[in-house]
Amino acid sequence: MRIIQASWIIPLNAAPVESGYLYIEDDGTVIHLNDIAPITDHFEVEVYEGIVCPGFVNTHCHLELSHMTELMPEATGLAKFVSQIPQRRQECTLDPAQSIKHADRKMHDAGIVAVGDISNTTDTVKVKKDSPVKYHSFVELFGLDKDKADILLADGLKIVEEYRSSGLSASLVPHAPYSLSPQLLEGVYSKSKDQLLTIHHQETPSENELFLESKGELADLFERKGFDISSQLGFGKNSAQYSLLPYLPKEQKILLVHNTCSEATDIDQIETHFTHAYWCTCPKANWYIERRLPNYDLWREKNLKITIGTDSLASNDTLSVLEELKLIQKNFSHIPTNELLSWACKNGAEFFGYDELGSFKPGSKPGVVLIENVDGMQLTPGSKVKVLV
Ligand SMILES: [Zn+2]
């Protein structure tokens, strides 16, 4: 058994405990938490300055883009960002397989215990299989050519099967509301009934412009690429009205990623339709690509179930959930760390159905993370992670 004492212990299944004592089995199973000094001197108490919390759940990553670190220019907006990927990829000198392995290790060192990872290929199977981090792979499809929908779907299902036959969980998901033909959307949803779904959602102002006014940078990009989107995308409907609400039942669990440009009416529509909508934010990637952050005050007012993602090293300098929280609190200092940590640990674990992760509930095995260099309960620019369990 280990006894861990810290300035603050934030269990997330109960209120934070000042100068708390966390009792855990040697294998990391939580026994209990209290604020009473142990009477036994059988065990040495490990004393830490800082905040102790459960391991982080990174709900949005693209591990297979890890070799694209420091390649993409910042603040271009999403349309330019996406259109530059193929060329920049060719300029890349890093070995993809090594970069994936390195990124996985770095996430583990950053206190991340579980990851929802967007996968377009099977490049990450081996690393995920051998990793101490728990992965769910979202096998992502896109394609606006309706004649190719069947082929894309068959290829996607093959990739899902490869993950599953390696003992990894995986599900088929759409990339974004604007990047699939109705035929492909329908195909993806028909093959992913009762599975975990995710979608990039309202990441850029040009997504809303495309749907509502058929103009803007994304519309221009599609036109340049020769896609006849006007006959497909059902203009005048917003992202959810086009790609989610007509297809999916109320009880479908869905993780909406980014939502940087979601307005109150967009949020209301989705929250009214779905009983299990989760709202993932990747603030550092939003800042990197668009130089903007979501309206977290609105999200909190709407009582959304918020989770944290790091996105990929193509649009972030690190895959660290804590660094995402630091950026949020720097700009929204009134959001308490306790609440941010429930986004970073508990809500993600709940989305994936990982009952053993996300809080210090007795009997669970969530990992134990120390956040050093804090100011009371507030994070500071120097706050960093030390993995205790
Ligand atoms: Zn993404």
- Tell me the average pLDDT across 168-192: 96
What pLDDT shows up at residue 82?
Answer: 84
Bridge partners of residue 2, in order along the sequence: 24
Q: Which distant-in-sequence residues (6+ apart) come within 8 Å of 71 by Cβ?
A: 88, 89, 91, 92, 314
Tell me the CA–centroid distance for residue 64 and ligand 1, in Å.
Answer: 11
Tell me the CA–centroid distance for residue 273 and ligand 1, in Å.
Answer: 24
Tell me the CA–centroid distance for residue 250 and ligand 1, in Å.
Answer: 24
User: What residue type is 21 in one-letter code?
Assistant: Y
Band (pLDDT 50/70/90 cuts) for residue 260 is very high
Tell me the CA–centroid distance for residue 1 and ligand 1, in Å.
Answer: 40
pLDDT of residue 230 exceeding 90, the answer is: no
Q: What is the pLDDT of residues 35-55, one digit of tens each?
A: 998 887 788 999 999 999 999
pLDDT of residue 144 exceeding 80, the answer is: yes
**CA-closest candidate to residue 309, choices 201, 168, 204, 172:** 201
Going from N- to C-terminal start, the domains of the chain cover 56-319
Tell me the CA–centroid distance for residue 23 and ligand 1, in Å.
Answer: 37
What pLDDT shows up at residue 31?
Answer: 97
- Tell me the average pLDDT across 109-129: 98
Per mean pLDDT, which range of 181-185, 295-299, 340-344, 358-362 is the poorest?
Answer: 181-185
What pLDDT shows up at residue 89?
Answer: 78
- Tokens 């993950």 identify what position? 163
Tell me the CA–centroid distance for residue 9 and ligand 1, in Å.
Answer: 32
What is the secondary structure of 363-375 as a DSSP string?
T----EEEEES-B
**How confident is the prediction for the chain on average, in pLDDT?**
95
pLDDT of residue 371 exceeding 80, the answer is: yes
Tell me the CA–centroid distance for residue 65 and ligand 1, in Å.
Answer: 10
Band (pLDDT 50/70/90 cuts) for residue 269 is very high
Which CATH class, in words, describes the domain spanning 56-319?
A: alpha beta
What pLDDT shows up at residue 331?
Answer: 98
- 104 and 63 in contact (C-beta within 8 Å)? yes
Tell me the CA–centroid distance for residue 309 and ligand 1, in Å.
Answer: 9
H helices present in the chain, as ranges: 78-91, 96-109, 125-130, 149-165, 182-191, 205-213, 217-224, 239-243, 264-273, 283-290, 296-301, 321-331, 337-341, 347-352
What pLDDT shows up at residue 233?
Answer: 72
For the full predicted model, state whether its pTM sits above 0.85: yes
Percent of the chain with pLDDT over 70: 99
pLDDT of residue 275 exceeding 70, the answer is: yes
Per mean pLDDT, which range of 56-60, 64-68, 92-96, 137-141 is the poorest?
Answer: 92-96
Tell me the CA–centroid distance for residue 53 and ligand 1, in Å.
Answer: 26
pLDDT of residue 363 exceeding 70, the answer is: yes
Band (pLDDT 50/70/90 cuts) for residue 215 is confident
Band (pLDDT 50/70/90 cuts) for residue 222 is confident
Query: For residue 28, how many C-alpha atoms fall within 13 Å in the half-sphere facing its CB?
Result: 15
H or E element that contains 256: strand 254-258
Tell me the CA–centroid distance for residue 99 and ligand 1, in Å.
Answer: 17
More confident: 22 or 71 = 22
Tell me the CA–centroid distance for residue 312 and ligand 1, in Å.
Answer: 7
Q: How many angstroms separate the CA atoms of 153 and 303, rounded?
A: 35
Q: Which distant-in-sequence residues (6+ apart) come within 8 Å of 364 by Cβ?
A: 29, 30, 355, 356, 357, 358
What pLDDT shows up at residue 234?
Answer: 66
